Amino acid sequence: MTVTVVDYGAGNIRSVLNALAYTGADAVSSAIPETIASADRIVLPGVGAAGSALDVLRDRGLSDALESARTRGTPILGICLGMQLLADELDEFGVHRGLGWIDGRVGPIADHVGPDIRIPHIGWAKIDPVVGDAASFFGRNEKANHFYFCHTNCLQTSAPAVAATVDLTTPVVAAVLKENVFAVQFHPEKSQLNGIRLIEAFLDWQP
């Protein structure tokens, strides 16, 4: 089984590949639509601006490749911007049409949290998993569920897709799960052992 990391110029590719290698996974990066469409498992990472990222995915045929993989049931992991791109709409330096896999909208965290929360939200934070199908991705105690965040925007979505939240004076979506797509707002590749455990859970996942 090969894990394909989508290389579209907006991802922390090397760190993600290193984390996958640490688990013993056979991991490669690719910007070739045919390779991504036929992958065994896919990781969609991302940092940076949503609009330019979506333009690249569409212009290079990568969004169609991802849709093909999703439709045939390929397990997909989205990370940070890679989670936000799954939404219907993203509001960041203009309004952008997302991939539309998760019902909802991405916008500034500041629109939803109290004035005492420093934006961007950067650093370690405890997540609160939602009991359900996503339980296997997370640890069984509080210490195991601390992860590293770095984001200015957040996803607003309906309860059925929410797999975990983070408390920023109000619950903010930290992870979503829908069919064969699991995505997280935090960076497992920067979250040391907790992140490695989550990646291992993704590799074992049979949606």
Neighbouring residues of 117: CB distance < 8 A, sequence distance ≥ 6:
109, 110, 168, 169
Under a CB-based contact definition with an 8 Å cutoff, are residues 52 and 14 in contact?
Answer: no
3 state SS of 143: helix
Q: Which helix (H) or strand (E) holds 166?
A: strand 162-167
CA distance 203 to 52: 29
Q: Could you tell me which residues are beta bridge partners of residue 176?
A: 162, 183
Specify the pairing of strand 2-6 against strand 26-30.
Answer: parallel
Cis preceding-peptide flag for 115 (omega within 30 of 0): no
- Report the Cα–Cα distance between both ends of the chain, in Å, rounded: 15
User: Hey, which residues are catalytic here?
Assistant: 80, 187, 189
Distance CA 28, CA 18 (A): 10
